[in-house]
């Protein structure tokens, strides 16, 4: 028999399934010279049969994840995971394990697609918004030992994975109990909203067109911060003192320590900014001008100190990291001689402060 020969490249090999029976015999005749190529042809002629998957055991479930009470630290940068935990499927599935099989009745390998979806708006290809501003969610899946061809490494949703089952064998069904689910909450903005977290995805996982699972993530989020304790004074009373304690500019008297008392819900960095009518004659010494309206003392101001050093007005000062619970910022107020000549009278000064957390 005469066999016309058409030479093809390796990339053309997948088109050989369209040969007629006679032309395929010609290929076999040339097998001694094209052994490697023939092997590829034979592999291609036996594809797995696509199937229509169904739930052979179990029913569509909801994966229920409770992250509990979470604190998002104010100093965490956007993009930082603030919660991360990996669960077994059966640990969070309210319907237990599902077995997914093919209903076509094929006697050889069958394959189908798993489709994993996210719901809501995407912050990035991997992170999706939740109902709380500044808090995003990232979910990943893997199968133990890559069961059925499902990814063996954590793969971020959304994705599609083709799996294969073998008829008549122990793995003739794909078992969701082999899956592991990783849930991460990610800080997505500098400002984070506190409140009840609620992320629901009713179309989380499908086998073909068959719904396998939804996912419901709940919890309570609060932002790391502090509140002023009621014990923080709004007025600091300096003791009366005698003029003979003031002989030259820079002399001080009447030291009165006080503190800004904070209640913090987590460990946070604290910054303090002070504003006030700074003495015109004394700069960068933390001295406030005497603003008494009646019987004003002359040549005397009020100095503020933090850790035995004058405070800086109109600038943020780092107070360090406050531990969870009560935290105090120790300050001290005292009289300060601002001019060579002093006169007795009333002394009154006002400072306002702003606390920020990072």
Options 3.40.720.10, 2.60.40.3310, 1.10.3720.10, 3.40.718.10; CATH for 50-223 is 2.60.40.3310
Predicted local confidence at residue 266, as pLDDT = 81
Predicted local confidence at residue 37, as pLDDT = 35
Predicted local confidence at residue 9, as pLDDT = 30
In angstroms, the Cα distances linking 261 to 89, 191, 234, 302 are 47, 24, 11, 21
Predicted local confidence at residue 73, as pLDDT = 79
Predicted local confidence at residue 77, as pLDDT = 87
Please write the tens of the pLDDT for every residue from 95-115: 999 999 887 655 556 789 999
Is-same-fold flag (50-223; 226-357)?
yes
Contact 109, 191 (CB under 8 A): no
CA 43 to chain centre: 46
In DSSP notation, 85-122 reads EEEEHHHHBTT---EEEESS--SSEEEEEEEE---S-B
Q: What is the dihedral of CA 289, 292, 295, 296, to 10 degrees?
A: 0
Predicted local confidence at residue 20, as pLDDT = 34
Predicted local confidence at residue 146, as pLDDT = 85
Architecture of domain 226-357: Sandwich (2.60)
Q: Which residues contact 320 (CB under 8 A, 6 or more apart)?
A: 269, 270
Predicted local confidence at residue 49, as pLDDT = 56
Domain ranges of the chain: 10-46, 50-223, 226-357
Would you tell me how many other CB atoms lie within 10 Å of the CB of residue 18?
Answer: 7
pTM: 0.61
In angstroms, the Cα distances linking 3 to 27, 147, 338 are 9, 45, 113
Would you tell me how many other CB atoms lie within 10 Å of the CB of residue 128?
Answer: 22
| pLDDT beneath 70, residues of the chain | 1-50, 104-109, 166-171
CA distance 243 to 230: 35
Q: Which residues contact 243 (CB under 8 A, 6 or more apart)?
A: 342, 343, 344
Instruction: Determine the length of the chain.
Output: 358
CA distance 274 to 271: 10
Indicate the SS3 state at residue 53. strand
Question: Which H or E element spans position 227?
Answer: strand 226-228
């Amino acid at each position: 028999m005469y066999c016309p020969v058409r030479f093809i490249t390796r990339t053309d090999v997948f088109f050989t399934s369209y040969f007629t029976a006679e032309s395929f015999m010609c290929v076999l005749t040339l097998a001694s010279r094209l052994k490697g190529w023939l092997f590829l042809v034979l592999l291609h002629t036996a594809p797995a049969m696509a199937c229509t998957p169904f739930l052979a055991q179990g029913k569509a479930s909801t994966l229920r994840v409770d992250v509990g009470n979470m604190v998002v630290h104010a100093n965490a940068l956007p993009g930082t995971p603030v919660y991360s935990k990996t669960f077994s499927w059966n640990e969070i599935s309210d319907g237990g394990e599902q077995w997914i099989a093919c209903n076509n009745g094929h006697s050889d390998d069958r394959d189908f697609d798993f489709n994993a979806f996210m719901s809501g708006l995407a912050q990035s290809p991997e992170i999706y918004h939740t109902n709380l501003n500044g808090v995003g969610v990232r979910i990943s899946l893997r199968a133990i030992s890559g069961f059925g061809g499902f990814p063996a490494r954590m793969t971020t949703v959304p994705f599609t994975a083709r799996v294969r089952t073998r008829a008549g064998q122990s793995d003739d069904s794909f078992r969701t109990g082999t899956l592991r689910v990783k849930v991460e909450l990610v800080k997505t903005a500098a400002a984070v909203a506190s409140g009840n977290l609620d992320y629901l995805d009713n179309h989380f996982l499908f086998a073909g067109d068959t719904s396998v699972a939804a996912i419901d993530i709940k919890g309570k989020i609060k932002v790391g911060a502090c509140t002023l304790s009621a014990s923080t004074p709004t007025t600091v009373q300096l003791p009366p003192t005698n003029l003979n304690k003031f002989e030259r500019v820079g002399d001080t008297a009447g030291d009165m320590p006080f503190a800004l008392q904070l209640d913090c819900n987590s460990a946070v960095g604290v910054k303090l900014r002070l504003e006030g009518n700074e003495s015109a004659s004394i700069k960068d010494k933390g001295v406030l001008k005497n603003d008494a309206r009646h019987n004003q003392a002359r040549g005397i101001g009020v100095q503020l100190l933090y850790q035995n050093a004058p405070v800086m007005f109109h600038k943020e000062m780092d107070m360090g990291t406050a531990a969870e619970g009560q935290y105090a910022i120790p300050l001290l107020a005292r009289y300060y001689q601002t001019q060579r000549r002093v006169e007795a009278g009333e002394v009154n000064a006002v400072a306002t402060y702003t606390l920020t957390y990072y």
